[in-house]
């Protein structure tokens, strides 16, 4: 894993993830990533998470960004959208151990967070783990190679 200041990171959320997203963006800015793009939404006003998730997924798939972070209320809806994209592996995480395993075993390229069910402090701890853990490869590479449907 490259250091965070060499990574291009994207972030997307809905209204239920807006507050957490704002705190995460501030935290990431303090780490000086190579690039940081906020795909929105940009207020607590009610929105539809696919409108923000699809553009971020496409930008990661086409190589504009190395990793993404996604946040909705449970983390599930936005993950469902992202994982429709064949080049995306979005992992829903709620603990540091799962954030570590989703990199070690699943080579996740998006950390998906349940904004209504974890604290901002917990989210930031998971971000630290996610962005400092390498994929293990080996048998896990064989398994992720079998994920795409076409
Ligand atoms: C919004 O109320 C909520 O349904 C959404 O953020 C998310 O949890 C959906 O999976």
- DSSP-assigned states of every residue in the chain: ---GGG-EEEEEE-GGGHHHHHHHHHHHHTT--SEEEE----SSS---THHHHHHHHHHHHTTS-SEEEEEESSSHHHHHHHTTSTT--EEE-SSHHHHHHHHHTT--SEEEEETTTS-HHHHHHHHHHHTT-----THHHHHHHT----
Q: Quick one: CA dihedral 109, 77, 64, 20, positive or negative?
A: negative
pTM of the complete model? 0.98
pLDDT tens digit string along 9-30? Answer: 999 999 999 999 999 999 999 9
Ligand 1 pocket test, pick from 40, 46, 76, 77 with the greatest ligand atom count within 8 Å of Cβ, gives 77
In the predicted structure, residue 5 carries a pLDDT above the cut 90: yes
- Tens of pLDDT along 76-85? 999 999 999 9
Asked if 72 is an active-site residue, the reply is yes
Tell me, in angstroms, the distance from the centre of ligand 1 to residue 16's CA. 7
Around ligand 1, the residues with Cβ closer than 6 Å are: 14, 16, 72-74, 76-77
**pLDDT at 37 > cutoff 80:** yes
pLDDT in tens, 64-119: 999 999 999 999 999 999 999 999 999 999 999 999 999 999 999 999 999 999 99
Average pLDDT over residues 30-46: 98
pLDDT band at 137 (very low <50, low <70, confident <90, very high): very high
Rounded CA separation 72/15 (Å): 7
Domains identified in the chain and CATH numbers = 4-145 (3.40.1400.10)
Measured between alpha carbons, how far is 122 from 71 in angstroms, rounded to an integer? 13
pLDDT reading at 150 higher than 90:
no
Residue nearest to atom 7 of ligand 1 (CA): 73
């Amino acid at each position: 894993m490259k250091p965070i200041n060499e990574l291009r990171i994207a972030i997307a959320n809905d209204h239920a993830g807006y507050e957490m997203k704002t705190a995460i963006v501030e935290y990431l800015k303090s780490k000086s990533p190579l690039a940081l793009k906020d795909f929105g939404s940009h207020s607590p006003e009610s929105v539809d998470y696919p409108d923000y998730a699809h553009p971020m997924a496409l930008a990661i798939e086409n190589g504009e960004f190395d990793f993404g972070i996604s946040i909705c209320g449970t983390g599930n809806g936005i993950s469902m959208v992202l994982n429709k994209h064949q080049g995306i592996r979005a992992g829903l995480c709620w603990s540091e151990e799962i954030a570590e395993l989703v990199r070690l075993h699943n080579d996740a390229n998006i950390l998906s967070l349940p904004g209504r069910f974890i604290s901002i402090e917990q989210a930031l701890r998971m971000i630290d783990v996610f962005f400092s853990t390498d994929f293990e490869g080996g048998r896990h590479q064989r398994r992720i190679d079998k994920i795409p449907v076409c």
